[in-house]
Structure 1
Amino acid sequence: MIETIRAAFVIGRRDFTAIIFSKAFFFFLLGPMFPLLVGGAAGLLGGQVAKDIDRPVIGVAMSVEDSRQLLAARATLAEQVGERRLPELKQLDQSSATIPPETLLKDQKNGLAAVLGGTLDQPVLTGTQGPIENYRGEIAMLSAFAQNAETTKLPPVETRLVESSAGNEKQQRLVTAQGAQVLLFMLTMLLAGMVLSNLVEEKANKIIEILAAAVPMDAVFLGKLFAMLAMAFVGITVWSSVGFGLAALSGPALPSLPTPAVGWPLFVLLGVVYFTMAYLILGSLFLGIGAMAATVREVQTLSMPVTMAQLINFFLAMYTVTKMGEPIELFACLFPFTSPFAMIARAAQDGALWPHLLAVVWQAVFVVIILRIGVYLFRRNVMKSGSAGRIKDSGGKKLFGLVKLPG
């Protein structure tokens, strides 16, 4: 066991150094940053567009006195209930009172969503179904308040702020659980694929067979897996540094994150642990696929079902977020491929720690099982290819287990 670990460390250090100091890894680090920047910019622009679209303008085609009272009532109520809760009103020219509302709505220059006519006693709202359903009640409230603005007084509301409530805390922890699952899944799928590409490349160059002749195959697989895991942590560290830098520049503009049930320090630690286990499980599976594949085309053919299955596992884990304690959630916690995602969600909603210890031990056992299967498949599908070339000479010596030399 000690020799295997020592050999795995040598293999892992070799792979880690070769990847980290390569140009491809530098561009690999830059790759996810561009979609994030583009997505952030698109989100800001989309939010602004949605904000503008969500504020339809209602034209007021009433008499001068009614329009004045209605706009004054809106300004007063906006201070109490908020600007966004009331429709935006636009005073139209007095000549518009003689124009049919249907004609005013067709005017592209005004861009009105609806037209309010009639009187304060009997307001008439003309428009499509959406604005009428959304703002019919608000128009009635504004009309009633405008008629009795001097006698109607809104009472001041005394507010008492509490840190949290049971319902609000539960909803916030659900957001934390789902966000952690999405982040864990994205990082795992983004980084685990490099294990497969690295193994296939070395198989094509016959390097893997040389390594297999020098050290046990268990050490080769183990070293490669942990080298890729270390590379993944380097990438995560770089991306996290950039993310924290952008967050520091944003300052108070960022929303406050809901606190998980186990607390932020332990939740972050569990996130690192479950990412490690999810990466090792998927990476071990990819190593097994690489052991069965001889070409890049075969790798793509074999890895596609695994990727689709992993998506199904992720959707199952997301479905169980709101099913705490139910059989489907317990199954997701026990099933190795969904266990890391289901357990990180449980950490956000439940403060118990002992289930996490059991889950990590079970996931580690499953990693060992998959690795052993991958080693067996590699020996069966790859290493046996040299058996036909062995020389049956009882007096010879084996070279790399494939050829015997005289004497």
Structure 2
Amino acid sequence: MSSLRRLLRQTMTIARRDFVATVYTPIFLLFLFAPLIMVAFSTIGAMGAAQAADHGADRVRIVAIVPDALAGSLNEADRRSRTIFRRDEEPPELVTLTATSDPAAQARAAFESREYDATAVLYGPLDRPIILYGARGTRAADYLVVLAGQALAAERLDGRLPDVAATKTLFARQRATLGGQNQTAFLAVFGVFFLTLFLAGQVVGTMAEERSNKVIEVLAAAVPLEAVFLGKLLGMFGVAVLFIGFWGTVLGQVTSLLPPALGGVVGELSPAIGLPMFTVLFVAYFTMAYLLLGSVFLTIGAQATTMREIQMLSLPITIVQVGMFSLTLSGLSEPGGWLALVAEVFPLSSPFAMAGVAAASDALWPHALALAWQALWVALFVTLGARLFRRGVLQSGSARPFWRRKRAEG
């Protein structure tokens, strides 16, 4: 048996061992359903916040103090204008009041009304209206200006605006829009980032139990440490694939029930390279992102001696991941710029950046080069991690991490 084949066999043995040890435990079910638990609590909080917001929004009004002869024109203009707003974007309900001899005092009194919460109040002639508005009434004040203009036009056209009989036809695009490609690029980067943030951090603690029960010495004596590191990395990656496969199947069934309107919005997110190839590249870049970050985290976690140290490493690891995400987003804002090039070349951010490139560009050759570049760094990180563990932790039976040894030697 060749040395390469033996190394691969040993690696897969370690991977299978870690995969089975992780999946065949009750705690894995809690990990598998963790997104459902988070979504449930988030939904409960969002519903509570929405109910509180809706309760307050129900009392908000915009007020127009005008003569009775103009009230009908204003209400008609308001009815027509609201058709262009989504339900959650509609201006507050319009209230028209009959103007008195002192409309300015009447406008100020409208803000003190106990029947509603006035956010903007209009009074005066429609060609030169005066509008008072509250702290969050800027848009409501602008809306009242539009209503005043439409009502004034209606009065000058014998009291009614002309009706427009438009023919509206739904058109299906043959290619994705530039905005859709940019949105797809952002979603691709966020998808890779979220999955690695949620899953890759699990690799940090995989060596802790092995070191505590002295199993790592047995493994190191039986197989090369490179095989141990790569096997553990692949084993945890298998757990991640199982997790994604489960939730991908669930979400696939849910999205098939989306209404046609939302289905059209999803269709606008078509990547430039085509959906089949984009799916392949997204999976490939998630794999590389997991292996790159996982190999770094495995190397760092292997130096820790206690669970307390592993917990303390969680914050720096999260900061690194968020930093790579921020670097990639900065590069996406200026495609072809030097920051985008840095994000595409730097190994830890390269999978994020290239996932965005796959959505915004139809060229294939950069992806072959990027995947080879990332695979090279995975091999380097695994090799470096094994050597640091061999020379540091296992040397002379020492279990102290390298930063403690340097401090002791100093």
Which residue pairs with 2:93 in the alignment? 88
User: What does 1:191-230 correspond to in 2, within 5 Å?
Assistant: 191-230=199-238
Which residue pairs with 2:405 in the alignment? none
Q: Give TM-score, length-normalised by structure 2.
A: 0.83
Cα drift, residue 38 of structure 1: 3.5
Cα drift, residue 249 of structure 1: 4.0
What code does the residue aligned with 1:67 have?
A
The answer to whether the aligner puts 1:9 opposite 2:18 as a matched pair is no
User: What does 1:119-268 correspond to in 2, within 5 Å?
Assistant: 120=126, 123-128=129-134, 130-131=137-138, 133-150=141-158, 152-156=161-165, 163-164=172-173, 169-252=177-260, 254=262, 256-257=265-266, 258-268=269-279
Q: Distance in 2 between matches of 1:72 and 1:149?
A: 14
Q: Distance in 2 between matches of 1:352 and 1:45?
A: 47
- Of stretches 36-45 and 329-338 in structure 1, the one that deviates more from structure 2 is 36-45
Q: Distance in 1 between matches of 2:205 and 2:181?
A: 37
What code does the residue aligned with 2:18 have?
D
Which residue pairs with 1:108 in the alignment? 114
Cα drift, residue 179 of structure 1: 1.2
Cα drift, residue 96 of structure 1: 11
- Of stretches 368-377 and 188-197 in structure 1, the one that deviates more from structure 2 is 188-197
User: What does 1:8-407 correspond to in 2, within 5 Å?
Assistant: 8-40=11-43, 42=45, 49=53, 53=57, 57-76=61-80, 78=82, 88-92=93-97, 100-118=106-124, 120=126, 123-128=129-134, 130-131=137-138, 133-150=141-158, 152-156=161-165, 163-164=172-173, 169-252=177-260, 254=262, 256-257=265-266, 258-302=269-313, 304-386=315-397
- Using a 3 Å threshold, how does the CA distance of structure 1 residues 239 and 94 change in structure 2: closer, same or farther? same
Which residue pairs with 2:407 in the alignment? none
Cα drift, residue 207 of structure 1: 1.3
Unpaired runs of 5+ in structure 1? 388-407
Cα drift, residue 359 of structure 1: 0.6
Q: Does the 8 A contact of 2:185 with 2:357 survive in 1?
A: yes
Cα drift, residue 221 of structure 1: 1.2
| Structure showing greater Rg | 1
Cα drift, residue 250 of structure 1: 4.0
What code does the residue aligned with 2:296 have?
L
Q: Distance in 2 between matches of 1:80 and 1:340?
A: 41
Count the aligned residue pairs.
Answer: 386
What code does the residue aligned with 2:32 have?
L
Cα drift, residue 140 of structure 1: 2.4
Cα-to-partner distance string for 1:166-188 (whole Å, 9 max, x where unaligned): 9x811211111111111111111
- Of stretches 15-24 and 64-73 in structure 1, the one that deviates more from structure 2 is 64-73
- Using a 3 Å threshold, how does the CA distance of structure 1 residues 39 and 253 change in structure 2: closer, same or farther? farther
Q: Distance in 2 between matches of 1:306 and 1:313?
A: 11
Cα drift, residue 304 of structure 1: 3.9
- Using a 3 Å threshold, how does the CA distance of structure 1 residues 65 and 339 change in structure 2: closer, same or farther? same
- Of stretches 69-78 and 320-329 in structure 1, the one that deviates more from structure 2 is 69-78
SS of 1:109 mapped into structure 2: coil
| Cα RMSD, aligned residues only | 3.2
Cα drift, residue 116 of structure 1: 3.1
What code does the residue aligned with 1:90 have?
V
SS of 2:381 mapped into structure 1: helix
Cα-to-partner distance string for 1:49-105 (whole Å, 9 max, x where unaligned): 489859952223333332123223433555689996776322347889877221121
Q: Does the 8 A contact of 1:274 with 1:344 survive in 2?
A: yes
Q: Does the 8 A contact of 2:188 with 2:356 survive in 1?
A: yes
Cα drift, residue 200 of structure 1: 1.3
Unpaired runs of 5+ in structure 2? 399-410
What code does the residue aligned with 2:273 have?
V
- Using a 3 Å threshold, how does the CA distance of structure 1 residues 81 and 26 change in structure 2: closer, same or farther? closer
Q: Give TM-score, length-normalised by structure 1.
A: 0.83
Q: Distance in 1 between matches of 2:151 and 2:379?
A: 72
SS of 2:94 mapped into structure 1: strand
Q: Does the 8 A contact of 1:291 with 1:381 survive in 2?
A: no
- Of stretches 213-222 and 265-274 in structure 1, the one that deviates more from structure 2 is 213-222
Q: Percent identity?
A: 36
SS of 1:278 mapped into structure 2: helix
- Using a 3 Å threshold, how does the CA distance of structure 1 residues 291 and 273 change in structure 2: closer, same or farther? same
- Of stretches 327-336 and 347-356 in structure 1, the one that deviates more from structure 2 is 327-336
Cα drift, residue 373 of structure 1: 0.7
- Of stretches 373-382 and 38-47 in structure 1, the one that deviates more from structure 2 is 38-47
Cα-to-partner distance string for 1:224-245 (whole Å, 9 max, x where unaligned): 1111001000011122223233
- Using a 3 Å threshold, how does the CA distance of structure 1 residues 165 and 50 change in structure 2: closer, same or farther? farther
Q: Does the 8 A contact of 1:87 with 1:135 survive in 2?
A: no
- Using a 3 Å threshold, how does the CA distance of structure 1 residues 80 and 307 change in structure 2: closer, same or farther? closer
Which residue pairs with 1:398 in the alignment? none
SS of 1:352 mapped into structure 2: coil
Q: Distance in 2 between matches of 1:358 and 1:27?
A: 39
SS of 1:261 mapped into structure 2: coil
Cα-to-partner distance string for 1:222-271 (whole Å, 9 max, x where unaligned): 11111100100001112222323333344346352210011111111111
SS of 2:72 mapped into structure 1: helix
Q: Distance in 1 between matches of 2:209 and 2:261?
A: 46
- Using a 3 Å threshold, how does the CA distance of structure 1 residues 317 and 233 change in structure 2: closer, same or farther? same
